[in-house]
Amino acid sequence: MENQTVVTDATTTAGIVTATTTTGTMPNTVTATPIIEPPKQTEPKQPDKPKADSPEVEKLKEALSRANSQAAEFKRQLREKQTEAERAEAERAEADKAMREELETLRKEKAVSEYKSKCLALDFDADLAAQTATAIAESNVESLFDCLKQFVETTKTKMANDALNRQPGLSAGVPPTTNTTQDTEYEQMRRWAGLPPRK
């Protein structure tokens, strides 16, 4: 057997120990594979915990308390602002509603006034003209027909009275059903015959 030269290298990289053994240039050369040793498990170093009564803990507690109180104050202010905004919105909506109602009332009154003047021009009675105009403005068909029926009946009665007043030979005390023409002719014949008038 020939002489051998053995060289052993041991290196440590990142906690891994590598040992390499090499033999020299001799006829019988042997190469050894590296030996890897697992790293030792070391626990990470824990930071020192501050004591409960240390000044740093007190400062942190004060800062946390201050931040919590500021957050609560901001929330309260936000709630108040939202409440004021909601109150302002409600007041604006109420004012708009009142304005719309007033506008509708004015429009209705104007329409009623115009319709009433047109009804008066058609010879309606003042009260009946107001009722008819209101029925038209409110689109109340039943009331409108009642007013028109009343107007037609009043007009018929008025026309009949006017026709009676225009007839000649009628006195106010003689009812229109009496046959006054025949009575007058009879009296005239009695007078021509020399008879006294009937009593």
Q: Token pair of 155, please?
A: 């007009």
pLDDT score for 170:
55
Write the pLDDT tens digit of every residue in 142-152: 999 999 999 99
- The number of angstroms, rounded, from the C-alpha of 159 to the middle of its chain's C-alpha atoms is 56
Q: What is the pTM of this model?
A: 0.40
pLDDT score for 79:
80
pLDDT score for 176:
56
Q: How far is CA 20 from CA 15, 33, 63, 192, in A?
A: 16, 7, 59, 182
Q: How far is CA 156 from CA 3, 124, 151, 167, 168, in A?
A: 156, 13, 9, 17, 21
Residue ranges of domains in the chain: 7-35
Spatial separation of the C-alpha atoms in residues 17 and 9, rounded to whole Å: 10
Chunked into runs of 10 residues, the chain (199 residues) has average pLDDT values of 48 52 51 58 60 75 91 86 79 91 92 91 90 90 92 90 74 57 75 76
pLDDT score for 38:
58
pLDDT score for 7:
45
pLDDT score for 150:
92
